[in-house]
Amino acid sequence: MAVIDSLRRNFVELAWFAFAGANLAAMELWPSWETIPFHFIWISLTLVYGFRIWNPKPTGIVLGLVIAGTGSLILSDAFAGSQLWGELFEVPLMSAMFLAMVWHARRRQDAVRRLEREAAERAALLSQQKRFLHDVSHELRTPVTIARGHLEVLRRLNGKPAQEIEVALDELGRIEHILERLLLLAKSKQPDFVVPEDVDVQAFLEDVLVRWSGTVPRAWRLGDVAPGTLRVDPEALRIALDALIENAVKYTEAPDGIELSARQSGGDLVIEVADEGQGLPPGESERIFERFARADTARSRAEGGAGLGLAIVDAIAKAHGGSCSAESAGAGTAFSLRFPGFASAAAVGSARRAGLAVPS
């Protein structure tokens, strides 16, 4: 079994040895034509080496064998008078060409190995960082919950409202929010991060808007919504829209408007959250999707942001094979979430009328 495996692994080398042997025999049998098999041997050696890049020792042995084999045959033919003595120069010339190829191939191989090593180190570091973030967020949840429990007991015992307790509870709430988002981000590369199902877009967006409009005074609007169903994880979509609307609320003031809309773009659905707030500083519309990125640090910190909301929106869109982007022309910002897997109600209706099978 081991012999068969080794033969299979070294198939290219074995085939080349057979080929080179046959060409050596041809050199021996037809001395006046020996230049053709001679070059076949050297060119095939260079080609095989390009694929396999042997270690220096076997490379030296093979090169020595080829020099000895081809050189001795030309030498004996030169003595016999069937070849010119000058043909012997071909051997060192071919060796030099082969060594140049060896040098290039090894340089390239070293560079590739270095890149692979660096990529593996980066991947290990990244996964270590992710595990660390996940573990820290997980471990911090319990003490935060315990602290919240004690503060709530204190509030009850106190009888009357105490500002210190309220501030501490507020801060704990922020920590819980950040931990929740960190845990979500740590999970975002897992295969079960999103579990898509068919979601009625219109009903879903109306529900999101009603939930927010009841709590925050803004000019809430539901713009045009393409009727149809979207193949999406409803919980993940809710988290993404909440993060966008939470930002829209943070960076607007009553009575600024916030509009939610959805349009079809080919087989995709583009959901847009647009506000009439202060807008984004120029050149920030891509960077803000990075973790812990805030466009205007002082302003965002005053708003209590950690810079994780848009990173989560981005992770959710990408987990569905979609994307997200931001546009801001001075005043107001519009965030677009593009999701594949949209089935327009109009298309489904006309397919049904035409008698085609439509998945329910």
Q: Which residues bind ligand ATP (CB under 6 A)?
A: 181, 243, 247-248, 251, 275, 277-280, 288, 293-296, 300, 305-311, 333
Shortest Å, Cβ 265 to ligand ATP: 22
Query: Which phi and psi (to 5°) does residue 338 adopt?
Result: -105, 125
Q: Which 8-state DSSP code applies to residue 217? A: -
Cα 83 to Cα 86: distance, rounded to the nearest angstrom: 8
Q: Which 8-state DSSP code applies to residue 28? A: H
Residue with tokens 């812990």: 292
Cis peptide bond N-terminal to 255, omega within 30: yes
Q: Which of 37, 277, 309, 322 binds Mg ion (CB under 5 A)?
A: 309
Q: Taking a C-beta distance cutoff of 8 angstroms, is the pair 256, 221 a contact?
A: no
Strand partners, 225: 262
Shortest Å, Cβ 243 to Mg ion: 6
Shortest Å, Cβ 282 to ligand ATP: 12
Q: Which does 324 bind (CB under 5 to 8 A by kind): ligand ATP, Mg ion, none?
A: none
Shortest Å, Cβ 259 to ligand ATP: 12
By beta carbon distance, the residue nearest ligand ATP is: 305
In this complex, which beta carbon is closest to ligand ATP, that of residue 66 or of residue 295? 295
Shortest Å, Cβ 237 to ligand ATP: 16
In this complex, which beta carbon is closest to Mg ion, that of residue 228 or of residue 309? 309
Q: Is 221 helix (H, G, I), strand (E, B) or coil?
A: strand
In this complex, which beta carbon is closest to ligand ATP, that of residue 77 or of residue 275? 275
Q: Is 10 helix (H, G, I), strand (E, B) or coil?
A: coil
Segment contacting Mg ion by CB under 5 A, of 189-197, 242-250, 316-324, 329-337: 242-250
In this complex, which beta carbon is closest to Mg ion, that of residue 91 or of residue 240? 240
Cα 140 to Cα 129: distance, rounded to the nearest angstrom: 16
Q: Which of 188, 229, 247, 300 binds Mg ion (CB under 5 A)?
A: 247
Cα 2 to Cα 233: distance, rounded to the nearest angstrom: 50
Nearest to 315 by CA among 122, 185, 134: 185
List interacting residues with Mg ion (CB under 5 A).
247, 309
